[in-house]
Amino acid sequence: MKLRTQPIFQKETATEKTPSIGLTKTEQKTTADIALLYTSNCGRITNIRFKEMAADIHAILVKYITEYGIFLNREIDRLFKHITTIHSQEDHSEYSQDLEIRLEQLTLLNEYKHVFEYIDGNRKVEFWRRKFHEQYRTILGQIENLKVSGRYNKLHEKLNTVQGLIGVDHFCGGKFLTEGFGALYRDYQIETTKKSKETYHVVLENILQEDYAATESAMIDIDKKTANPSDIAQIEQKLQVSLHNLMKNTQKLANSLDLNNDFKAVTESQIQLINANTDKICTVLMKPKIMAMINEKIKLNLTEFEQKITTCLSTVLLQAISTIENFMETNDVLEAELNTERLLLVRREIDNHFNLESVTEKMNEIKKRLDSLGDHLLVKIDLKNIQQYPTHSPKDLVVKLQKAAEYHSAKYKKVETYISAEIRRNFQTAIDATCAAPIEKRSELIDPLHYSLDFLPDDLQTLFRTQINKLKDKFLEESLAYKRELEGFLKSDIVNDTTIEKVNGFAIQYDREKRDELLTILHSGVLAKLASYWKIIQAAFEKDEISSATENMRHVIKYRIYAPAIPSTEQFYKLVRDLISKSVRTYSDTLSNIFTIQKIEAVDQAFTNLTLCIEFSQSYPEKINDLISQKVFQIIIIKLETMHRNWEDTVNDFNLALIELNISALRSLLEITDRCDRVLQNIRNTSCAHPSIKAFVQKMKKVLGHSELISNFKKKINELAQIFTEKLIRDKTMRFETERDQFFSNLSTSLKTFKLINTEFPKMFLSVDFEQIERDLKIKIEEIKRKLLTYATQTDISESEADEFRTYYNHLLSFEKYISYPDVNIPQSLELAEKHILDKVAMLAKNIASAGADFTKVAEFFIRMKFFAENLSMFEAKINRTIDECLKSFKASQGPTMIGQLTMILEKNELGARLMSEHSGLTGEDWRKRREKMQKQDDLEYVLKELTGDDLKTEDELATDIVRKRYTVFRSKYDDLISKNLAAFNLKTETEPKLDVLISETKALIAEGVQKYGEIKWDRSLRDKIPDLLAHIFAVWTLKNTQHYNSMRGIDSARAYLLMPHVAQVISIFRIFGLGYTKDTKLLGISLHRRSVSNDLINNLVEVGTGEGKSIIMAVVACVFALNGIDVDCSCYSEYLSMRDKNDFAPVFQALGIDERIEYGTFNRL
């Protein structure tokens, strides 16, 4: 009902057919009517509260029903006005239907007395019946008047309104059911239908005649609602076909225009028809009724029609213009003139209806070209180029101009006279140029002139033919006098600078005088001489006779220097240059591959040849500087650098092999350097002065030769022999396992090396007695074995004696690891020593079993066993297993409660305390006692008071306050998690609490991130999560270790057997992560003397006392880092303790899914 207090018109839009909230359903109306009566009667009851509630509900109902009545009245008024005021042939069916529905809703409310009363229903019904009667009388008079006046268009509109009001007949009742709006509509519809049929035939006739203006006028009298639908469809179809054919025929006419026909025929038929049809299309575009009856495709074609016809006509006219241009290109000026005149007449007629700008521009260009025809022809035809006369005949051009002059004498006679004069002048100029040309060129020039005579105009052919024939005879007689002078000179064998310079002078003279034949003879003679030198040079290089090659190369180079006018000198110089370049590259390649070439003499010869070629290239520094180019020199330098680098690499390989004592590699490298040493000495002794070679020689003097390498090898072997003089047991080998292993590894390497030396270099190191070295080494090992077994067989062993035993045992173990002598048999001695020790441990185990309830002796025996485990670490695992078995047996025989008495004795001894903390049989009791002893460690204020650190100051309580608050958050969360999970733990059906939810919550606190190596992403948001995260991790740890709690459940102190973190442990983790760490606040590098909390992860060391839970602290810190995606190493001095811690916390790591990120081990291993 509260919802219904909103006004109806806010809930419903005017376009809705029925309200979504209203009295539209029978049950709604019935309920509303009964509710009005009931709430009204409730006013007479005595219960005031109920009476007030009923009054409120009644008021809400009345308000809602009243608004609903207003809403109905507004809707009826809106729909009635829309139907009666829109004067068009719009479809009123939707509004008529809505009006009928609203009237029916108003009428039906009459059945519900109280509802009808509150909406004032009687008054509304009477009002609307009276309104509809008045509208009927008004519209009846209007229709009669329109019929008499013949205004059928308006009559159609009125009938459309009457049709929309047919739905009110039922509402009005009485006579309206038979004589209302429905009867009025049916009577006049028959009249309009008859009129529409007559108009239909008139429209079809106009369409057939293509009289579209008359068609538009006639269509006014057609009403689509009263007309036969097939008639309307026929009109639409005929209209669209007529327009389509009109456009199609017009385009066909435009495309078929032929401007070569008689112009009168064209304008009277095609162009006039095109213009008329275009006018018809324009008329249709302005007639709305016609446009309304055609489809969208025809409309689009009508809109684009004028542009299409314009494009079509432009294309036709441009083709005609193209024809004119072709006539002008072929110099048919008469045809171009006639076609231009016809085209101008056609364009003038078309321009009245179409805008042809592109055609107009092209026509103006054509007219301009025709007006300046003479200049155009001179630019187009090169009359100066006589050789083009056969392809562009001047004779044909003059003939065409003469024909054009007959049609336009004044315009083209002048052009024809001007062109003839130009032809005559240019031909005479060509004759004069031929006479002035060199003798040998004249015959070449006179032939084209003779051939071009046939393409001159007839009068000019007669003028020039005699002159051309006389010149041809003259030129033939002048070419024989210059051939005799050269023949004797080329037969001479004298080759010197003067002779070559004279040859060069002849070449220049013949070239200047254009004596091609003599020049050819000269070139051939020089070419033969140079070819002879070239063969000798090639043969000399093939035989490595560089001296002979350089002598003949000098002749080639002289021709190149002193006879540059002869092309072959440059050709053979290039051949020589390429050959010497190729050769020096080959020599340098050979040198760079010195260590892979077996025939070392070839390498030695390559260096000699290389220096000779380089020295020769420097013989002509002023005149020839590219015999060996800079690029080739760079290649030579690179190859020599490669040789130097290869030699240095060989030396480096030797040094590396010497360091690694790779004897086989040393032998191979020394063989290589011995074989190549002669080349090195040749390089060092060369006298070549070229800077590149000198620099290379200096480098090669610095590399080590074969003799230097032999010396270094001997020095290294002598140093290696010194290791056999050292003691096997030294201070460093006793204290450091890595030093011990390195020493025996080196000793093994030395032994293997000397064995190889005896094999690979049997005669080089006769001074070293390898067999004596091995005998001395075995004597030392036997002494160590003896001492080891002496300590192992003693009845009792002190701590210092245990240290000696461990020293001997570890040294023998390392020796056996790297050096093995079957006759020494170290494994047997080690096994025997181990047996003696384990026998002692076994005896102690028997003593424990026989001691019974004598806890003092039992404790003494356990402590002695722990002494052996801790001081003889090589047997630690076996002894600890024995201890675990003894504890298990003791607990089974004496009962769990007796363990407490044993631990009271053990805790008094340091070894006993460690035994309690490290062995599972005593772990539960150890936890309880630790909690009892460490009560102070669970006192927050005590721990904070004892807390010290670099960042803590007596005058600044900021850090401790922060740590206190963080711990309070941690403790509250931890206790809550433990309580909830223990409460849900069913001891009867479960071995440990279900932790799935707890683990999911832990992982959700911090998503695993991607951390870079050496970098930890740590910000304030992560820092603030630490207390909550630690509470979850410690809760997992506690609940994963409930075995002692389970066994003690039911006793008052059962909770004491839970593994729970101490305050000091949690505070230590806070300090490791920098929680509470304060630092000076600085601004622009200046201290403000005010401390603030750091957001960073501070790299802190935290000192924790003995027995205060270092293992727990380290494991939980590792969990935090691992959950952040960081790999963690947890290090310890003892392999046993490290593995114990790893196994203790493995369930926690696995539960959190981080076991692969955390690694435990000793410092050495990690």
Rg (CA), the chain: 62
DSSP string, 205-247: HHHHTT-HHHHHHHGGG--TTTS-HHHHHHHHHHHHHHHHHHH
Residue 1034 near residue 1150 (C-beta atoms within 8 A): no
Average pLDDT over residues 673-687: 85
Please tell me which of 25-34, 645-654, 724-733, 1157-1166 the model is most confident about, judged by mean pLDDT.
645-654
Q: Is the pLDDT of residue 14 over 50?
A: no
Quick one: pLDDT at residue 1051? 43
Q: Is the pLDDT of residue 926 over 80?
A: no
- DSSP three-state, residue 1090: strand
> Which band of pLDDT confidence, cut at 50, 70 and 90, is reported for residue 241?
confident
Q: 15-19, 239-243, 270-274 — which is least confidently predicted? A: 15-19
Distance CA 1046, CA 1049 (A): 5
Tokens of 934: 């460490």
Residue type, 100: E
Residue 1108 near residue 937 (C-beta atoms within 8 A): yes
Q: What is the pLDDT of residues 62-112, one digit of tens each?
A: 899 899 889 988 998 998 888 888 655 566 778 888 888 888 888 888 888
What share of the chain in percent tops pLDDT 70? 84
Average pLDDT over residues 16-38: 72
Q: Is the pLDDT of residue 213 over 50?
A: yes
Query: Strand pairing partners for 1159?
Result: 1129
Domain ranges of the chain: 1-119, 133-225, 228-371, 381-479, 726-824, 832-933, 934-1162
Quick one: pLDDT at residue 221? 63
Nearest to 900 by CA among 884, 921, 872: 921
> 1081: which residues sit within 8 A by CB, 6+ positions away?
1087, 1088, 1090, 1091, 1092
Quick one: pLDDT at residue 29? 82
Distance CA 499, CA 106 (A): 137
Q: Is the pLDDT of residue 1052 over 50?
A: no
- DSSP three-state, residue 1076: coil
Q: Is the pLDDT of residue 264 over 70?
A: no
* DSSP summary character for residue 823: T
Quick one: pLDDT at residue 1027? 93
> Which band of pLDDT confidence, cut at 50, 70 and 90, is reported for residue 1042?
confident
Average pLDDT over residues 581-599: 87
Nearest to 970 by CA among 1035, 1055, 1019, 1057: 1035
Q: 499-513, 925-939, 952-966 — which is least confidently predicted? A: 925-939
Average pLDDT over residues 391-395: 78
**CATH number for the domain running over 934-1162:** 3.40.50
Q: Is the pLDDT of residue 551 over 70?
A: yes
Nearest to 544 by CA among 619, 613, 618: 613
Average pLDDT over residues 40-66: 87
Residue 88 near residue 157 (C-beta atoms within 8 A): yes
Average pLDDT over residues 329-356: 73
Quick one: pLDDT at residue 1144? 87
Q: Is the pLDDT of residue 437 over 60?
A: yes
Q: Is the pLDDT of residue 1134 over 80?
A: no
Residue 620 near residue 562 (C-beta atoms within 8 A): no
Residue 647 near residue 729 (C-beta atoms within 8 A): no
Query: Strand pairing partners for 1158?
Result: 1128
Average pLDDT over residues 170-179: 83
Nearest to 504 by CA among 439, 440, 568: 568
> Which band of pLDDT confidence, cut at 50, 70 and 90, is reported for residue 934?
low
Residue 788 near residue 797 (C-beta atoms within 8 A): no
Distance CA 1146, CA 1152 (A): 10
> Which band of pLDDT confidence, cut at 50, 70 and 90, is reported for residue 13?
very low
Quick one: pLDDT at residue 23? 72
Nearest to 788 by CA among 776, 764, 772, 804: 804
- Please give the residue that has the higher pLDDT: either 401 or 101: 101
Average pLDDT over residues 1082-1098: 61
Residue type, 1116: V
Q: 372-376, 496-500, 861-865 — which is least confidently predicted? A: 372-376
Distance CA 717, CA 869 (A): 44
Q: What is the pLDDT of residues 942-954, one digit of tens each?
A: 888 888 877 665 4
Average pLDDT over residues 26-39: 86
Average pLDDT over residues 677-685: 86
Quick one: pLDDT at residue 18? 44
804, with CB counted inside 10 A (0-12, 13-18, 19+), is middle
Q: What is the pLDDT of residues 1100-1125, one digit of tens each?
A: 788 887 777 888 999 999 999 999 88
Q: What is the pLDDT of residues 991-1036, one digit of tens each?
A: 778 888 899 889 888 865 556 666 667 777 788 888 999 999 999 9
Distance CA 1, CA 63 (A): 11
Tokens of 1163: 């410092």
Quick one: pLDDT at residue 12? 45
Quick one: pLDDT at residue 715? 84
Distance CA 103, CA 76 (A): 7
Burial 722-736 (b: 16+ CB within 10 A, else e): eebeeebbeeebbee
Sign of CA dihedral 443, 449, 452, 453: negative
Quick one: pLDDT at residue 423? 82
- Please give the residue that has the higher pLDDT: either 158 or 787: 787
Average pLDDT over residues 639-656: 90
Burial 1066-1076 (b: 16+ CB within 10 A, else e): bbbbbbbbbbb
Q: Is the pLDDT of residue 596 over 90?
A: no
Q: Is the pLDDT of residue 154 over 90?
A: no
Phi, psi of 797 (to 5 degrees): -125, 130
Quick one: pLDDT at residue 15? 42
- DSSP three-state, residue 703: coil
Quick one: pLDDT at residue 16? 43
Average pLDDT over residues 770-797: 86
Please tell me which of 62-76, 365-379, 974-988 the model is most confident about, judged by mean pLDDT.
62-76
> Which band of pLDDT confidence, cut at 50, 70 and 90, is reported for residue 488?
low
SS (H, E, C) 17-56: CCCCCCCCCHHHHHHHHHHHHHHHHHHHCCCHHHHHHHHH
Quick one: pLDDT at residue 1066? 93
Phi, psi of 54 (to 5 degrees): -65, -40
Q: What is the pLDDT of residues 128-147, one digit of tens each?
A: 988 888 888 888 888 888 77
> Which band of pLDDT confidence, cut at 50, 70 and 90, is reported for residue 479?
low
Q: What is the pLDDT of residues 863-914, one digit of tens each?
A: 888 888 888 888 888 998 998 889 888 888 887 777 777 888 887 887 887 7
Residue 234 near residue 204 (C-beta atoms within 8 A): yes
